Amino acid sequence: MIDSIINSTLLLAVPLVLAALGGAIHRRAGVVNIGLEGQMLVGAFLGILASAATGNWLVGVLAGGLGGALAGLVMSLVITRLSANEIIVGLGFNIVALGIVGFVLRAVFGVSGTLRFPDQPRIPRISIPGVDGIPVLGAMLSGKDALFWLAALLVPFLAWAFANTRWGVRTRATGVSERASASLGVRTLGLRDTAGMLAGLLAGLGGVALSLGVSGLFNENMIAGRGFVALAAFYFGRSKPLATALACLLFSFFDALQIRLQTSGGFSADLIQTLPYIAVVAVLAWAGFTGLRRRARVTA
């Protein structure tokens, strides 16, 4: 049972970690990305279509990532170049993405809700010989796909990049004060657009992780609020890669737990499904409370 929960937690964490890291990059540049939900949906949809059309899962991963990047760039341009409110633009983008995807499903494929192709390619999972049979360690390391390892490597890489590269330092400076950064010759709008494109890329890959990695099909409601959970994760983690990833693992654990409780029976499915979202609210409330206490100590 422990191995099953660990394995499920790590698999379900991949979409969240990718999307949350993208949101953290955008937040470091000074923009709160509310459109992660829609960007994940775009990535999941294009990933399924491209992989089914070519018979190659890698093409699906690339298409989903590029689709998410384009969506992120378009959304960022509306915010940076037209001075639109980031919250309104993000919410509007989520609604538009859901509407367009739903329209294409019904008008082109003649289906409502779920799109499934025969012989759908999926991202292969990599078993590590000699490790897959070891309790706990095997569940942690073996049987994971390429996007899992990408997410795992991105956490230390982004932490290093934010602290040691020109891009990272300028992105953080832009997020702290756009006016001060611009006065030093930093192209703040370009940095924010780049951050928005990277956020869309990672969110799109998060959607691909759901459609080609976890489920092997597409459903227009498959994101199911994960974009907002990712937003909560990088907020809780203060946009720091490691803390953000740990928050994603915490939320994914409750998601895996509610799936386990539903299959075991004896609990109301409607109530159990709310468990991950209750955890999100509880964690955010705790983060807000500790933040208030910290500020109170500083001002005392």
Phi, psi of 265 (to 5 degrees): 80, 175
Could you tell me if residue 30 is left (phi over 0), alpha (psi between -120 and 50 degrees) or otherwise beta? left
CA dihedral 179, 34, 209, 198 (to 10 degrees): -20
Cβ–Cβ < 8 Å for 281, 230: no
Looking at residue 299, its pLDDT comes to: 66
Mean pLDDT taken over the chain: 89
pLDDT of 298: 65
pLDDT tens over the chain, length 300 residues: 687 888 888 999 999 999 999 999 999 999 999 999 999 999 999 999 999 999 999 999 999 999 999 999 999 999 999 989 999 999 999 999 999 999 999 999 888 888 999 889 999 998 888 777 787 788 888 888 999 999 999 999 999 999 999 999 999 999 998 888 888 888 999 999 999 999 999 999 999 999 999 888 999 999 988 999 999 899 888 889 999 999 999 888 888 888 777 776 666 666 677 777 787 778 777 777 776 777 777 665
Cα 184 to chain centroid distance, Å, stands at 33
Alpha helices in 209-274, H assignment, sequence order: 226-236, 241-264, 269-272
Looking at residue 300, its pLDDT comes to 58
Q: Rounded distance, CA 283 to CA 277, Å?
A: 10
Rounded Cα distance between 112 and 102, Å, is 8
Distance between CA 140 and CA 143 in Å, rounded?
8
Helix segments in 83-145, DSSP class H: 86-107, 137-141
Helices and strands (H, E) in the chain, number of each type: 13, 4
**pLDDT tens, position by position, 43-69:** 999 999 999 999 999 999 999 999 999
pLDDT of 43 reads 96
Contact call for residues 23 and 234 (beta carbons, < 8 A):
yes
- Look up residue 125 and give its DSSP letter: E
CATH architecture of 2-299: Orthogonal Bundle (1.10)
Q: What is the pLDDT of residues 124-153, one digit of tens each?
A: 998 888 777 787 788 888 888 999 999 999
In the chain, where the domains are located:
2-299
